[in-house]
Chains A and B, each alone.
Chain A
């Protein structure tokens, strides 16, 4: 079973819909037991960084997530990806989950529209990352965000370009992954990435 963490953030149903469509056993949950028993964990999210961390803390899940992400595959999506870093600066400085080194701050591109919204092309940085299996050279995925990760190049699986480079898919090099884009809204490319994640985590489908 893949646990989709339900901490009150919007739009979690689309992640569930995508896993259901792929025939993958999954559960929307805020229970520690479910997260501990899951083969893999997905942390979705739309909203503000500090609000989401507050919700996670109130659900008592921060320690569980930190602990579980050391031994099973974890995928943060959009805000869920941003939360895996050490700090966020949306409205106020706020501690993140600290699973990957780096911080999250505003995208500053005076000549460009913010939010960065729409389909952008993945530029691979770690080509042999198992989440990219089966993807071609020209793959577009769907982004909606106004903040981005600032982190080490060695943690970036793929970038996209919007003025400057934006980390699109990141990893701690072990179990933790984060997608700034929405794989559940990125057509077949996104579904392939979700399948790859599920296969990695050892869940059968």
Chain B
């Protein structure tokens, strides 16, 4: 049986790990390669690097981080942030990433999803989505780190993303992100029902039971968290033990 995945995310700027709260007031801490190794020891099923560097030089630094991590960590690595072209995808995969996560650029240029999936295979194209509630069971898609509302309906977008060939969706709720009150269950439910590709829950994990809660209440395939793991409030193995205890298949 396929196990549910627990994915720690490392937000990286200029080669250093940071974590924003609601995308603002970013705090900086740590060496990303060491952090990834630690998560690997804890039993992370996958590791995500989210590059929040804007500059071109910064991207090179990020690729070095991926290269170094890929020499020491033998679980799938996903890299997101700033990926705009097929060449960016190629470069990132060559550095040792197994998947890329495209977010803003996928909204601005949906063909990027199709081109990426056609060339490199759908399994390595994850589409990251930041969405915010506008009404009951209604959400719109934001870009640029949750700053710009595109007025695009979330459910329409996830269907299109699937049809373009994305292998996976990483769904971040702007409403619950950084609030630590649990994942956005209503939003997750709607999205999981709308598509067949795996959906990763992101944004809102604040305590141990939030992970099992997402798996028990929705059919999401994985749950992602950053600060909770990063500030060592919980370890990946603690989360997995709790899920296992509740009957959820875990590696």
Contacts and interface: CB of A to CB of B under 8 A. Distances in A.
Contacts of B122: 115
A21 B75 contact: no
Given A190-B74, A191-B74, A118 B98 contact: no
Interface in B61-77: 70-72, 74-76
B114 interface: no
A13 B93 CA distance: 10
Contacts, number: 75
Interface in A98-143: 113, 115-121, 140, 142
Interface residues of A, number: 30
A23 interface: no
A188 B40 CA distance: 10
Interface in B50-89: 70-72, 74-76
B122 to A, nearest CB: 7
B245 to A, nearest CB: 15
Contacts of A37: none
Nearest to B122: A115
A59 interface: no
Nearest to B197: A113
Interface string B154-174: 000000000000011000000
Give the secondary structure class of B's interface.
Answer: loop
Interface in B219-243: 221-222
Nearest to B219: A113
A121 B249 CA distance: 10
19 contacts: A10-B93, A13-B94, A14-B70, A46-B121, A113-B197, A113-B198, A115-B123, A115-B167, A116-B2, A118-B2, A118-B5, A118-B222, A119-B5, A142-B75, A144-B123, A185-B74, A185-B75, A187-B75, A187-B251
Interface of A: 10-11, 13-14, 17-18, 20-21, 46-47, 113, 115-121, 140, 142, 144, 161-162, 184-188, 190-191
